[in-house]
């Protein structure tokens, strides 16, 4: 992956595409019975690019869309915003939320 390397004068005008990058994650929806666990990745670009998180939250169209859908559906939703997410570590917490009857939306920055 050339995105992890620093650019030099020799490849200054080269175009690097993230289309086939293994580091880019796609949104996931896990349905368990009538309950939903949605995992959404806000960064549509490469995770190695640095951005200001405050500006990122303010102008994120995906975050606005997720909040609008949550308001329109009127479901009981737990919204979690995390930097790193490992499903196996959070299993017991999610199990408790699902038993109560809550849907879970995880937004990963």
Number of domains the chain contains: 1
Question: In this model, does residue 19 exceed pLDDT 60?
Answer: yes
Residue 11 lies in a domain: no
Residue 84 lies in a domain: yes
**pTM listed for this prediction:** 0.63
What range defines the domain where residue 58 resides? Answer: 23-108
- Which parts of 11-100 fold into alpha helices (H)? 53-58, 61-73, 91-100
Q: Residue 44's pLDDT band (boundaries 50, 70, 90)?
A: low
Q: How is the beta sheet containing 103-108 ordered, strand by strand?
A: 28-32, 35-41, 103-108, 77-82
Confidence at residue 61, expressed as pLDDT on a 0 to 100 scale? 76
- For residue range 73-108, list pLDDT tens digits in order: 766 777 777 777 777 788 888 888 888 888 888 877
CA distances from 34 to 65, 70, 75, 103 (A): 22, 16, 12, 9
- Tokens for 35? 């309950």
């Amino acid at each position: 992956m050339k995105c992890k390397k620093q650019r030099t004068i020799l490849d200054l005008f080269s175009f690097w595409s993230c289309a086939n990058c293994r580091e880019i994650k796609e949104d996931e929806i896990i349905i368990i019975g009538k309950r939903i666990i949605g995992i959404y990745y806000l960064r549509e670009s490469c995770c190695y690019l640095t951005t200001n998180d405050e500006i990122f939250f303010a102008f994120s169209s995906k975050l606005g869309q997720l909040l609008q859908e949550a308001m329109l559906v009127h479901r009981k939703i737990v919204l979690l915003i995390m930097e790193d997410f490992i499903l196996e570590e959070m299993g017991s917490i999610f199990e408790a939320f699902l038993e109560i009857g809550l849907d879970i939306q995880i937004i990963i920055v």
